[in-house]
């Protein structure tokens, strides 16, 4: 039996899957690849991809932060397979993670399952070591930077416009700024580089701010985990700032912690549920 895992974000729908029985690979119990579809191409591209991949999903678990209509659309696209769908919302606790949000159900479900995936993925690979503090940065449509304490409690996080949204906002909100296509450099000497450097600095600065705050609060060097479609464009800037902040580690890049969280959830649920 094929179980689909769906991370419906504001730019793209990311899809992973697991097959029946135990998956013996490292980390999360899912196949280690994902597909990604833009909202506009979904209706044509998803059925085509399922056909080509030879997948006939009978079960699906998903998070959705792209509006209620997206759940209806995906439900209709998967109905021909007789696929039963569960949309996961944020809760006060799940698979060892506790939700410290004032109103736990208001936390974006993608952020929540990303924390669940990161925590359980770490436990599975840690071989009995004490858990570190995790700072989880997701670079999607929006950027989020969330902290998980050594007991698995989500203690809060940032939301800021993502890289492309920041760049678009400058073009839309001014008379003379273009939709920039420059490079992030230390001392930009032209408009396009000035914008891209400013945006990269804001993105990386948010990450390092949370990493420093978590280090001060817990007295240990947090493990920084990064994901999301816009990550590669910000990676160098984050690496530079982390080094300047005294970090001795490499950023841990994770393909999709949300799909990982959904995979752990599917694994832990009885087949009939």
Ligand X SMILES: Nc1ncnc2c1ncn2[C@@H]1O[C@H](COP(=O)(O)OP(=O)(O)O)[C@@H](O)[C@H]1O
Q: Which H or E run includes 1?
A: none
How far apart CA 32 and CA 202 sit, in angstroms, is 31
List the catalytic residue out of 40, 110, 189, 193.
110
With contacts defined by CB under 6 A, name the span among 7-15, 40-48, 114-122, 246-254 that binds ligand X: 7-15
How far apart CA 138 and CA 118 sit, in angstroms, is 12
Q: Which is nearer to ligand PAZ, 120 or 141 (CB)?
A: 141
| Residue 53, φ and ψ in degrees, nearest 5 | -80, -5
Enumerate the H helices of the chain as residue ranges: 42-53, 68-78, 109-126, 163-173, 191-218, 235-244, 257-268
Catalytic residue list contains 110? yes
Token pair 């999301």 is found at 228
Minimum distance from residue 219 beta carbon to ligand X (Å): 32
Task: Please pick, from the candidates 230, 234, 262, 266, the single residue that binds ligand X as defined by CB under 6 A.
Answer: 230
The size of the interface with ligand PAZ (CB under 6 A), counted in residues, is 13
Q: 72 labelled as ligand-binding?
A: no
Task: Please pick, from the candidates 114, 157, 228, 257, the single residue that binds ligand X as defined by CB under 6 A.
Answer: 228
Query: β-pairing, 252-253 with 223-227?
Result: parallel
Contacted entry of ligand X, ligand PAZ, K ion, none for residue 163, CB cut-off 5 to 8 Å set by kind: ligand X
**Active centre residues (catalytic):** 110
Which residues of the shown chain bind ligand PAZ in the complex (CB under 6 A)? 9-10, 65, 106-108, 110-111, 140-142, 144, 159
Q: Residue ranges for the binding site for ATP?
A: 7-14, 141
């Amino acid at each position: 039996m094929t179980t689909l895992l769906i991370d419906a974000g504001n730019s793209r729908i990311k899809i992973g899957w697991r097959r029946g029985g135990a998956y013996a690979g490292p980390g999360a119990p899912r196949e280690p690849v994902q597909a990604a579809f833009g909202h506009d191409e979904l209706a044509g591209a998803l059925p085509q991809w399922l056909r080509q991949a030879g997948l006939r999903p009978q079960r699906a678990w998903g998070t959705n932060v792209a509006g209620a209509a997206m759940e209806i659309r995906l439900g209709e696209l998967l109905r021909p397979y007789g696929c039963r769908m569960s949309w996961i919302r944020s809760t006060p606790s799940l698979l060892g993670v506790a939700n410290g949000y004032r109103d736990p159900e208001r936390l974006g479900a993608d952020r929540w399952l990303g924390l669940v995936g990161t925590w359980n993925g770490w436990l599975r690979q840690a071989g009995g070591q004490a858990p570190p503090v995790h700072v989880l940065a997701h670079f999607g449509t929006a950027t989020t930077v969330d902290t998980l304490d050594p007991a698995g409690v989500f203690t809060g996080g940032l939301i800021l416009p993502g890289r492309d949204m920041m760049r678009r906002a400058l073009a839309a909100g001014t008379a003379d700024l273009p939709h920039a296509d420059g490079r992030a450099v230390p001392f930009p000497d032209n408009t396009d580089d000035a914008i891209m450097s400013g945006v990269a600095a804001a993105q990386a600065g948010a990450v390092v701010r949370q990493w420093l705050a978590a280090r001060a609060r817990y007295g240990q060097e947090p493990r920084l985990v990064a994901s999301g479609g816009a990550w590669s464009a910000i990676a160098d800037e984050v690496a530079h700032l982390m080094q300047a902040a005294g970090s001795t580690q490499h950023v841990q890049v994770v393909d999709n912690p949300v799909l990982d969280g959904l995979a752990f959830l599917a694994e832990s649920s009885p087949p009939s549920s």
